[in-house]
Amino acid sequence: MDKRNSLGKRIKQNRVAYIMLLPTIVGFIAFVLYPQLWVLRLAFYKYNGYTPPVFVGMDNFVRLFTRDTVWWKAVGNTFYFSTAKLLVEIPLALILAVILNNNLKGRNLFRTVYFLPNVTSTAVMSLVFYFIFSPYQGILNGILQSIGIISEPIDWLGQGSLAMIVCMIVSIWQNFGLNMILFLAGLQSIPDEIYESADIDGATPVQQFIHLTIPMLGRMLQIILMLAIIGSLKTFDLFKVLTNGGPGHDTEVMMTYIFRYFFVDNMSTTAQPQLGYASSMGLVATIIIGAVTAVYLWMSRKLEENY
């Protein structure tokens, strides 16, 4: 009798759990799994959204790998942007986390201020920075001219190298606060006794940071870097609002280029959508991001074994 009651209780609990999970499962199937399968199928078709799709086999991938030089420029820009900005963003977040982990006056205020950009809409934030860096009516040029640093306005978003640097600055400003909070969570999980023992042994703060803090943050650092890499490789709205991939595709990234073929705009090389070709690019981009993530996880696992 007790076994029956226990079994019935477990079934009831499981039923409640499945009911609670049902909205998430339905949402995943409807908005993630089905679109991915649709894109996977469409990658082998020529389709403009109006006429019936025509099966072309591997033609879209042949075109992508052999004839579309802009796509590979977009891939290179994506990796350049992600690598360069993370080399600044991650160390900055870690250093600020270490500073704010101490008993500083007003540290909670600084934590809040640094984290606020992360909760701001990327599109709205990019629009604000667009006006800041505008060449003729921008706030930055106005300030620099008023104090005599420059005599002529600088076209920050109209020159390829400068435009990419501006995008990096905006992205770092938006994302370092979240990484800082995650680092803070990892720092606060490190027992104080470890640092007290290091002080007794005569270790300097720099030695403690290198030989204690960083190794103890290994698992958290692995997660933070993985999320930052994936997020950087998938960046879209920042570039769409600030530069729209210009000038001359110098700030084109994978996601903005895919967008051009799904939704034709003024920089597209086609007069109508090419959903099949865009789907093939989306599939290749997914494989690239997945491969980078897998390689990173393998490398970081090897590094973690050293600690």
Alpha helices for the chain (secondary structure H) = 2-28, 34-42, 59-66, 69-100, 107-115, 122-132, 139-146, 160-188, 192-200, 205-208, 214-216, 218-233, 237-242, 254-262, 275-304
Residue 159 and residue 297 in one domain: yes
Residue 7: the pLDDT is 57
Residue 307: the pLDDT is 47
Residue 11 to residue 16: CA distance in whole angstroms: 9
Residue 115 and residue 233 in one domain: yes
Residue 103: the pLDDT is 80
Q: Is residue 214 part of a domain?
A: yes
Q: State how many domains the chain has.
A: 2
Q: Is residue 48 part of a domain?
A: no
Structure tokens at 292: 């980078």
Residue 304: the pLDDT is 61
Q: Roughly how many angstroms between the first and final C-alpha of the chain, as a whole number?
A: 52
Structure tokens at 234: 């998938």
Residue 143 and residue 292 in one domain: yes
Structure tokens at 52: 């019936």
Residue 194: the pLDDT is 87
Residue 2 and residue 122 in one domain: no
Residue 118 and residue 172 in one domain: yes
Q: Is residue 53 part of a domain?
A: no
Residue 124 to residue 113: CA distance in whole angstroms: 18
Q: Is residue 19 part of a domain?
A: yes
Q: Is residue 47 part of a domain?
A: no
Indicate the SS3 state at residue 129: helix
Residue 211 and residue 238 in one domain: yes
Residue 269: the pLDDT is 62
Residue 5: the pLDDT is 59
Residue 306: the pLDDT is 47
CATH code, domain with 81: 1.10.3720.10
Residue 13 and residue 96 in one domain: no
Residue 20: the pLDDT is 85
- Is residue 111 within 8 A of residue 181, CB to CB? The reply is yes
Residue 11 and residue 107 in one domain: no
Residue 203 and residue 265 in one domain: yes
Residue 184 and residue 252 in one domain: yes
The residue range of the domain holding 30 is 1-42
In which residue ranges of the chain is pLDDT below 70?
A: 1-9, 11, 266-271, 302-307
Residue 258: the pLDDT is 94
Residue 171 to residue 179: CA distance in whole angstroms: 12
- Is residue 282 within 8 A of residue 223, CB to CB? The reply is no
Residue 302: the pLDDT is 61
Residue 32 and residue 168 in one domain: no
Residue 199 and residue 146 in one domain: yes
Q: Is residue 118 part of a domain?
A: yes
Residue 182: the pLDDT is 93
> Which residue type is seen at 61?
F
Q: Which residue has the tokens 């007290």?
A: 196
